[in-house]
Structure 1
Amino acid sequence: MDVEFLKGSFMNPEFDEAMPPIAILINGGSSSGKSTLCRALQARFSELASGEPRGLFASVAFDDILLKFCTKMYPISFVSAQGGDTSKLASKVFNDGLAAWEYIDDRLVTDENNGKPSLRLELSHWAHRILQGMHQSWGMHLQLGTNLIIDHFLQNEEWYTEVMSVLGESGARVFAIGVFCAVDEMERREADRGDGGLEVRPLGLARRSADLCHSHDMKYDIVINTDQQDTDDAVDMIINAMDRAGILKR
Structure 2
Amino acid sequence: MRNQNFYDVWTVFWRDWIVLRKRLTKFILSRMVAPMLYLVAFGWGLGRSIEVQGGTYLDFIVPGILALNSMNISFNSITPVHAERVYHKSLEEYLIAPIWPDAFVIGKVAAAVLRGLISSSIIVLLALAFGAHFAMTPLFLLVLVLNCVVFAEIGFLAAMKISTFEEMGQVNTYILLPMSFLCGTFFSTHALPDPVRYAIECLPLTHTSLLLRTIGSGGEAPLASLAVLALYALGGYLWSSRAFRRLTK
Instruction: Place the TM-score, normalised by the shorter chain, in its bin.
Output: under 0.3
Structure number with the bigger relative contact order (C-alpha 8 A, sep ≥ 6) is 1
TM-score by length of 1: 0.27
Structure 1 or 2: more strand by fraction: 1
Q: 1 or 2, which has the higher helix percentage?
A: 2
Per the normalisation by structure 2, the TM-score is 0.27
